[in-house]
Amino acid sequence: MPLNSLPPWPPSLPSSAHLQHLQTLAVTHALAHGFTHLPANPSDPPTHATAAPLSLFPSPFPRHLFELATEIQTVYNALYARIALDWGFLDRVMGGVAKVDSFQGELWRGWKAVREELVQPLQLGIFRSDYLLHSLSSLAPLELKQVEFNTISSSFGALSQKASETHRYLAKETDMFFDSSPYLSTFDNYPLNDALTSIAQGLAEGWAAYGRKDAVVLFVVQDGERNVFDQWALQYELMERHGIKTVRHTFSELDNLVQFDRNSKRIYLPDPLADLVQPREVAVIYYRSAYTPTDYPGPGEWSTRLLLERSRAIKCPSMALQLAGAKKVQQVLTEPGVLEDFLLSPDRPDVGFGKGAGAFTQEDVDNIRKTWIGLWPMDNSEAGQEGYRLAMTQSSRFVLKPQREGGGNNIYRSDIPQELKRLEQQQHQQQQYGARDVMPREAYILMELITPPDGVGNWLVRGGDNKARKADVVSELGVFGVALFGPEGVVNREAGFLMRTKGRESDEGGVAIGISSIDSPVLVDVV
């Protein structure tokens, strides 16, 4: 019988002893299968790890909305591929942002400085489109609404696959788990998650397209990274399944290590274990950093980024594709006709991946648009003035988003008017020094808050804790996508999923910053 809302959750267990036993099984399985991260201030090399944050039960998610999210991922892949190839569009969008956001400005200006020199026509995208369930009342149907689209460092693919495997293990191992809810008692409700294998396959396809069998994949990583096992799992998969070697370096290390052949534009890195061995050519550069200003503490890191961008290696992502993931692009896409132009215009590059020019349909457009919530610019346009009025008079409905990734940067509800007033004071001070065309609030977009359904809870197990915490929760579904593209599409597919679950009291949702737990969906039928 279809439901008109999510079922009460989590399922009841007979006793606290049963809960403790279930937690022991879950954490033991997680530790045994690499569902781990490093503790704070780890040793080098590391000597121990802790289980990553995990939900004890999978969380209910409407089957038809899960299927919608996975089905439209290839359309989203093609959309953002076309954005990355449209230099004029990126210039129009980012030109205004660059005046008021130094990080995005540096990225955009750097890309403009090197883009005429680029020799590699292929780009590799490992994307993740993040969604929340939305319902304005208990009588309104549940909807799928996009939080953001990630084009760089789309993490937790490996750990999300392992979380799904842990929940399936608990269902197989324990009758109390399997029988605690009718939704848990059939494996048809547990969608298979191949995020680890699919993302690694995408990196392997980029490596194969480069065409040098002795080349390696470079992981560009952050100093002090705790989420290393999510990354190492990809590296192990590349070696064990595809026979591809990988190397890991930070920007600061690359500044001293990269060897650039100015004639061929190929880049090489020395073998860290054998000084006399021929340096290894890099086929694919996979960024698990480079998305936040702290990744560029000085000009050396920016110089290294531009050097890598000029190289023949396939970038994941290119600077253009990173710019395409800006929050401002997300907002501009909602303006009348913009999405239609990218998906329906016959003049767009054929990155439809088996769908020739014109093969995207109005249904594709409608399916994408139905996942969007209200978005407004914060400029001086008519829409921007309306956004400013809403932000000042109805702030409880909104979040103010800067052009940043990684969590912890947004401004919510009652804090918005105060922040806008601060930005106005900043604008006034800048105008006194002659900066007449600068409006600091243009660095932000205004987004209508998504309203997840009430009445859903779960048991959350923090890494290192010995007791699960029961909480009212909100779950965010992320769908991964892989795209290898240039003037024509080569690869385009959905690539597994990630579910992150957090306590309802928290606005932010990062696993890496200690707020969310990694989860998996159990599919339920709703109307």
Digit-coded pLDDT (tens) for 177-226? 889 999 999 999 999 999 999 999 999 999 999 999 999 999 999 998 99
Is the pLDDT at 358 greater than 70? The verdict is no
* CA 123 – CA 488 distance, rounded (Å): 11
Q: How far apart are the first and last CA of the chain?
A: 10
Condensed to tens digits (0 to 9), the pLDDT of residues 475-527 reads: 999 999 999 999 888 999 999 999 999 998 876 555 444 478 999 999 999 86
272 confidence band (pLDDT: 50, 70, 90): confident
| Residues 225/287, Cβ–Cβ less than 8 Å | no
- Token pair recorded at residue 512: 């890496």
The alpha carbon dihedral of 21, 23, 24, 29 has a sign of positive
Of 113-127, 162-176, 339-353, the least confident: 339-353
pTM of the model: 0.95
355 confidence band (pLDDT: 50, 70, 90): low
H helix or E strand, kind and range, residue 424: helix 415-432
To the question of whether residue 152 is assigned a binding role by annotation, the answer is yes
To the question of whether residue 512 is assigned a binding role by annotation, the answer is yes
What integer is the mean pLDDT of 326-343? 97
Query: Any residues with CB less than 8 A from the CB of 300 and at least 6 apart, and which?
Result: 251, 252, 255
Amino acid symbol at 515: I
Q: Dihedrals φ, ψ of 522, to 5°?
A: -115, 125
Condensed to tens digits (0 to 9), the pLDDT of residues 123-149 reads: 999 999 999 999 987 778 999 999 999
To the question of whether residue 131 is assigned a binding role by annotation, the answer is no
What pLDDT, on the 0 to 100 scale, is given for residue 177? 87
Of 56-70, 131-145, 147-161, 377-391, the least confident: 131-145
Is the pLDDT at 302 greater than 50? The verdict is yes
What pLDDT, on the 0 to 100 scale, is given for residue 170? 95
* CA 387 – CA 410 distance, rounded (Å): 16
To the question of whether residue 403 is assigned a binding role by annotation, the answer is yes
| Residues 374/384, Cβ–Cβ less than 8 Å | no
What pLDDT, on the 0 to 100 scale, is given for residue 2? 42
What pLDDT, on the 0 to 100 scale, is given for residue 432? 62
To the question of whether residue 406 is assigned a binding role by annotation, the answer is yes
| Residues 261/268, Cβ–Cβ less than 8 Å | yes
Query: By C-alpha distance, which of 446, 438, 437 is closest to 384?
Result: 446
**Number of residues in the chain:** 527
* CA 203 – CA 480 distance, rounded (Å): 13
Is the pLDDT at 407 greater than 90? The verdict is no
* CA 512 – CA 527 distance, rounded (Å): 34
Is the pLDDT at 320 greater than 70? The verdict is yes
To the question of whether residue 412 is assigned a binding role by annotation, the answer is yes
Identify any residues that bridge with 479 across adjacent strands, giving them in sequence order.
129, 497
Q: How many CA atoms lie within 13 A of 273 on its CB side?
A: 1
Query: By C-alpha distance, which of 263, 521, 297, 510 is closest to 409?
Result: 510
To the question of whether residue 150 is assigned a binding role by annotation, the answer is yes
What pLDDT, on the 0 to 100 scale, is given for residue 310? 98
What pLDDT, on the 0 to 100 scale, is given for residue 217? 98
Is the pLDDT at 273 greater than 80? The verdict is no
Catalytic residues: 128, 148, 150, 155, 327, 401, 405-406, 500
401 secondary structure, DSSP code: E
What pLDDT, on the 0 to 100 scale, is given for residue 513? 44
Q: Look up tokens 């306590």; give the residue.
A: 503
519 secondary structure, DSSP code: E
Share of the chain above pLDDT 70, in %: 94
The two counts, helices (H) then strands (E), for the chain are 17, 21
Identify any residues that bridge with 259 across adjacent strands, giving them in sequence order.
268
To the question of whether residue 380 is assigned a binding role by annotation, the answer is no
Q: How many CA atoms lie within 13 A of 235 on its CB side?
A: 18
To the question of whether residue 55 is assigned a binding role by annotation, the answer is no
Query: By C-alpha distance, which of 465, 462, 477, 470 is closest to 504?
Result: 470
To the question of whether residue 367 is assigned a binding role by annotation, the answer is no
What integer is the mean pLDDT of 428-453? 83
Amino acid symbol at 333: L
Query: By C-alpha distance, which of 520, 526, 527 is closest to 184?
Result: 520
Share of the chain above pLDDT 90, in %: 81
Q: Look up tokens 């209200």; give the residue.
A: 374
Q: Across the chain, what does the average pLDDT equal?
A: 92
To the question of whether residue 404 is assigned a binding role by annotation, the answer is yes
What integer is the mean pLDDT of 314-328? 98
To the question of whether residue 508 is assigned a binding role by annotation, the answer is yes
271 confidence band (pLDDT: 50, 70, 90): confident
Query: By C-alpha distance, which of 24, 227, 188, 229 is closest to 521?
Result: 188
Is the pLDDT at 171 greater than 50? The verdict is yes
What pLDDT, on the 0 to 100 scale, is given for residue 512? 46
To the question of whether residue 155 is assigned a binding role by annotation, the answer is yes
Identify any residues that bridge with 483 across adjacent strands, giving them in sequence order.
125, 492
What integer is the mean pLDDT of 405-416? 88
The alpha carbon dihedral of 388, 391, 397, 399 has a sign of positive
Choice between 48 and 199, residue whose per-residue pLDDT is larger: 199
